[in-house]
Every structure is written in C-alpha cells, then in structure tokens.
Amino acid sequence: MRLASLGAGIFAHDGKIFVANREACEVCEFTPEGKLVRVLPDIPHGARICNVAHATDDNFFVMNALAPITSSPEKTASVYAHSGERLLSTIEPGQLGIPVLKHLHHTHPHYVVNKEDGTRTLHLLISGWSRGKYAVLKHEKDGKPTDANMWKRTKNEIHEPHV
C-alpha cells in the first residue's frame, strides 16, 4: 500500500478514506478497500500535512501543516481550506496574532449553534504539539474580522507549569 508507514492523519468522508501523508506533503483519497482514488490537487509544495477533516455545513476540507513551510517567511504552521478539487484559503496563525502555533497536529471543524436563530457558525479547533498550545478560530463568512480576546484571563486564572 502506498502510505503504509507515512500516514499522519486519517478521516472518513462520503464513503472514502482520506489520509494525510505528511512526508510526501499530500492528502490521498482511498476507497474503503484501500484503492487509491487520487491525491488532492493544489496543496502547497512543502506543506507537511498532518491532519485532514471535513467542515460538513460549508462543504470543504480543513487540513494543517506540521510546521511552517521552510521556503516561506511565515513563522507559524498553516491551516488550509480545500474544496477537494482546489485550495480555497490559507490561514496563517501568525498573521492573526497567534505566534505560538509552530507544530500543529490537528485541526477539527466544530459548529456552534446560535440558540436564538439556529444558525451554525464554524470554528476551527487547532491543537499544537509543543507545550499544549491550541487556538480556536471563528470563521467569519462575510470577511469581517473579530478581535482575538485571548480568553480575557487574569493572571490568577492562568496556571503556568513549573519549570
């Protein structure tokens, strides 16, 4: 099998299995029997994809790179939105004021339901490998950015690990 030892993340969607092949910088689509259907196109060269998931309501895949692309000026690992046919968007956490996401291992789409009108808003739950770093990003469909609240915690609420 093509990915026997290289699969980093795996996800089932629409009767197919999607495998993130980190070291080949690709996401492969397989049948349940293990037959390679295709490699998703348009993934940036050098993007060591660790994980793939599907944002059901918005009908796109989310995937994340392990680390910044070495030829890129970015200092944080990227998160990608992909239609299955083409790359839709690249999210650079560093450009959003989140400088600590350098080794990403998982991006999970999660929908939050508005209790008043029933609308669903996509949030991306992103976990980093180094020191338990994580971020929650809210998808703004109209392109209106929201301010990062950094959880508005006080020093007493933050429990720093003892070194």
CB 37 within 8 A of CB 31: yes
Per-residue pLDDT at 113: 95
CB 108 within 8 A of CB 63: no
Structural domains of the chain in order of their starting residue, each with its CATH number: 7-145 (2.120.10.30)
For the beta carbon of residue 30, count every other beta carbon within 10 angstroms. Answer: 19
Per-residue pLDDT at 149: 56
Short-list 10, 12, 39, CA closest to 26: 39
58 vs 94, residue with greater confidence: 58
% residues pLDDT > 70 (the chain): 82
% residues pLDDT > 90 (the chain): 56
pLDDT in tens, 85-104: 999 999 988 888 887 787 88
Residue 1 predicted with pLDDT over 80: no
